[in-house]
Structure 1
Amino acid sequence: MLIAVHRFIRYCPHALDDARAMCAAMIKAERAKQDGSLRPMIENFIDYIHTKEFRLEDGTLARNRPHLNTLWLDDLFMSVPALAQMGKLTGDVKYYDDAVKQVLQFSQRMFNAEKGLYMLGWVQGMDVHPQFHWARANGWAVMTLVELLEVLPESHPGYADVLAQLQAHIAGLASYQHGTGFWHQLIDRNDTYLETSATAIYAYSIARAINRGYIDKQAYSGMAFDPAFYYFRPVNPYATHGYGPVLLAGAEVISLLKNSFPKMNDSAVMFYPEEIETDQPIFGVE
C-alpha cells in the first residue's frame, strides 16, 4: 500500500484529465481531516494545474489536441474546483485569482449570452466557431460555478462576476428544460434524446444554488415558474376560460375579414386596405 501511495505522489500528470476533480476532492478531504496525509498528492496535482498545464497567452488553460490552442469546456471542472479549494486550504489568493480568471476567460469565448448556454469546444485559429451546446459539458460548467462560489470570498473582486455568470447560465438552462423535467443531449435541439446525467447535474447545481442563495428561490421553485406546472395542467372540455377566448377570436376574425381585403399573393394571405386584382382566390372568403 505504501509503495502504491509513493508512486501516486511521484506520478507526473500530463493533462488536466490526469488531475481533474480528484484533486479538489482530496483537498476537501484534507480540509476535513487536517492531518496532512493527502498534502503531498495535493501539491503534486495542484502544481500541475497551476503551473504546468498548457495555457494560451492570456493564461487560459488550454489543450493542443486535437487542434492547437483549443479550449474544452470540460477543463473548467478539471481545474477550477481544485484551484478554488486550494485557495480555501492555504488562504493564498493566487489560487482564487486563477480560478476566477479561468471562468471569466472561458466564458468570454464560449458562452452564448443570448441562449445562456456554453459551447463545448473553441479553437483559437478558427474564424468561425461552430456552437454545439452539449448537455453534460454545460453540466460541468454550471457545477464549476457553484463549486467556486462555495469557497470564493465575497470580498474577492471577481465574486460578483462569477455570481452573475452562474445566474445567467441557470436562466439559460431553465429555458430549455423539457416537459418531463429532463434536458436534451444537445440542449437546444429537441430532436436529440433526453439525457440523464446532465439532468442530474443540473438538478444538483440548481438546487444547491437555491440553497446557497445564489439564485432566487421563488423564480426557480415558486409560483408557476417550473415548466411542469404548465406541461401537466389538467385538461377539462368544460372549462369556460377555453370557450370564451375561442368565441372572442372568431368574432374578431370575422370583423377583420369584413373590414379588410384579404387576397392570396406570393403564396401567403395578405390583408389589403382596399380591393386589388389577383388571380389567386382566397378559399372560403366571399
Structure 2
Amino acid sequence: MSQSPNTRNTNLAAIAGTLLATLLSCLAPQALAQEAPPPQEKGPAPKDAMLHALAVQYPNPYRAMEAAEVKAVLDRVLGYLEASTPAEVIDKRTGASLARLDKADPDAVLKPGDFRLTSYEWGVTYAGMLAAGAATGDTRYTDYTVRRHRLLSDLTRVYYPAVKADPVNAQAPIKSFLNPHALDDAGALCMSFLKAKQAGTKVDYGQMVDICGTFVTQKEYRLKDGTLARGGPDGKGGVKMRPLPDTLWLDDMFMGVPTIALLGKDTGNAKYHDDAVRQVLQFSQRMFNPKLGIYMHGYVEGMQDHPELHWARANGWAIMAMVEVLEVLPTTHKGYPAVVRQLRAHARGLASFQDKDGLWHQLIDRPDSYLETSASAIYTYAIARAVNRGYLDKEMYGPMANLAWNAVATKVNAKGEVEGTCVGTGMAFDPAFYYYRPVSVRAAHGYGPVLLAGAEIIEMNRKYKFGVNDSGFMYQGQR
C-alpha cells in the first residue's frame, strides 16, 4: 500500500532524527560543549565579548600529548642510555672485551659508562624500560632491560660463590649487589627483577632474587616494631651513623617495600603482603604531615621533634612505593583500604603544591627552592598510574598528570639527557642543605622516572580523553 508524500516525509524526518540522536549519543557529552554558550542579547557584540577565548601563551603545551609525541621523548632517552650504558665485561688491565666468563676473573669489570648498572637508580630505570616497552610496543625498551638483567644473572652465577665464601676479600664486577650493605644496594634492583620475572622474561632470576630479597626482608636493620631503618649496629660493636642511630629515611619506603610486596606475589606467602602494608602505615604514622598532605624526609626514633623538611624526591619514593604495593596487594587484604586512603591523602597534598607550569619544587612547600625534575616525573608516573587503576579521580588528577608530563618532557634535551635532577642526597636538619644541592644530567635518578611517567601517560591518554573545554583542560570521557 503506497504512502502519501506527507507520510513519507514524516517517516524520513523521524528516521533522520533517530540517526542524529544516535550519532550524538555516541559522542562524549563534553565534546559537544567545547565553547561557552552564545550570548542571548541581540545586536553588536561589546568589545569584551570574546576575551575569555584569547590565545594564552603557556610555556609548556596545554594539552594532552599524542602517544607518538610522548614516545619521541622516550626514544631520545633510550638512544642516549643505550649508547652510554654498555652491557659488557672487559679486562680492567687491557680494556679488551671478555665475551665469555666461565670462571671468576679478578680483573674483570663492567665496561665504564655514564651510569652504574647495579645502582638503585638503575633498578628504577630497568622497570621504566619494561613499562615503556609495554606501553609503546617497541621491544627495544624491553630488550634494554633483558640484556642487562641477563648479564647480571651470568655474573652472579660466576662470582657469587667466591663472594659468599669471602665477602671481604673476593673481587667481583658487581660486588655491591652480591654483598649488599644497605637497601640502596638491593631493593630497587630486586623490584626490577621481580617485575621482569612476573612478566615472563626469560632470564634466570633465582639467585639474584634470593640475594636481594633475603637482604631486604631479613638482614636490613629495623626498629623494634619492624619498620625498616638506618643507623643500626655496625658489626664492630658500634652503631652506624646514617646520620644518627635509629633513623628513618622516607626513601626507604621505596627502597624496600615494593620488593617485599612483590615477593608476596612471587611466593604466594601472605606474610610479605602483611609486612608491606605495615611498612607503609608505620612510615606514614611517623613521617606524614596530614595538614600539608606531604611527608618529612627524615625521622629519628626517640627525638621529641623531627626536621620537617619536605624533600621532593623522597615524597616521590613514598607515593611510588604505594602504587607499586597496590599493584600486587590483593584487594581482599585487610590493609588494602588503608594504603589506598594514604595514597589519596598524599596525592591531595601534592596537588596543592604543583607549580603553575607543571613541576614541583625541591622542597615541596617552599616555592623559592628550585623546580626539580626527578620528583616531578615520579609524581607524574604515580598519579597517572593511580588514575589508571581507579585509586584517584580521573577528572581531578588526569589534567594534573598531563600538565606535569608536558613540563617533564621539556627537561629531556636533544641528546636524551634528563636535565634539572638533584644529585644523590642524604638527610639533613636544615634547609640550606636541600636548597643548594646541585643538579646534573649525570644524576641517575631522573631517567627511570621519566620512562615510567611517559609510559603511564600513554596508557592514561589511551584510556581517557582529555582536552580543552571552554579554555580549560579537563577530562572528556572514556576513549
Same fold (TM over 0.5): yes
% identity of equivalent residues: 55
Match for residue 73 of structure 1?
250
Q: How does 1:46-195 map to 2 (within 5 A)?
A: 46-64=213-231, 65-195=242-372
1:94 CA drift (Å): 0.8
- The match for 1:42 is 209
Opposite residue 5 of structure 1, the aligned amino acid is T
2:412 aligned partner: none
Please tell me whether the aligned partners of residues 247 and 299 of structure 2 are also in contact (alpha carbons under 8 angstroms): yes
**1:227-277, Cα deviation, whole Å (9 max, x unpaired):** 999xxx79xxxxxxxxxxxxxxxxxxxxxxxxxxxxxxxxxxxxxxxxxxx
Which letter does structure 2 place at the counterpart of 1:134?
Answer: W
1:214 to 391, 414, 421: 391
Partner residue, 1:280? none
Which position in structure 2 is the counterpart of 1:22?
189
1:46 and 1:83 in contact (8 A); partners too: yes
Residue aligned with 2:266, SS: helix
Structure 1 segments of 4+ aligned residues over 4 angstroms from their partners = 226-229
Higher relative contact order (CA 8 A, sep 6+): 2
Judged with a 3 Å threshold, the aligned counterparts in structure 2 of structure 1 residues 216 and 8 are, in CA distance, closer, same or farther, namely: farther
What is the TM-score with the length of structure 2 in the denominator?
Answer: 0.46
Contact 1:8 1:41 (8 Å CA) reproduced: no
Alignment of 1:197-276 (within 5 A): 197-221=374-398
Q: Is the 8 A contact 2:156 2:207 kept in 1?
A: no
Measure the CA separation in 1 of the matches of 2:203 and 2:278: 28
* 1:238 counterpart residue number: none
What are structure 2's unaligned runs of at least 5 residues?
Answer: 1-100, 105-154, 165-177, 232-241, 407-466, 473-479
Contact 2:295/2:315 (8 A) holds in 1: yes
Cα deviations across residues 87-131 of structure 1 (Å, max 9, x unaligned)?
111111011111111100000000001100011100013111120
1:5 equivalent in alignment to 2:156: yes
- TM-score with structure 1 length normalisation? 0.75
Residue identity in the other structure for 1:120: H
Distance 2:358 2:217 in 1: 38
The worse-fitting range, judged by mean Cα deviation, of 169-178 and 22-31 is: 22-31
Structure 1 215/135 Cα, relative in aligned 2: closer, same or farther at 3 Å?
Answer: same
Look up the match of 1:32. 199
Report how many residues are paired.
230
Following the alignment from structure 1 to structure 2, what is the Cα–Cα distance between the partners of residues 92 and 36? 23
Q: 1:179 to 1:35 in 2, by over 3 A?
A: closer
**CA RMSD of superposed structures (Å):** 2.4
SS of the counterpart of 1:164? helix
Distance 1:222 1:140, change over 3 A: closer
**Letter of the structure 2 residue corresponding to residue 25 of structure 1:** S
Cα distance between partner residues in 2 of 1:32 and 1:130? 40
SS at match of 2:383: helix
Give the Cα–Cα distance (whole angstroms) in 1 for the partners of residues 297 and 399 of structure 2.
31
SS at match of 1:165: helix
For residues 31 and 8 of structure 1, the distance between their equivalents in structure 2, rounded to whole angstroms, comes to 24
Q: CA contact under 8 A between 2:384 and 2:398: conserved in structure 1?
A: no
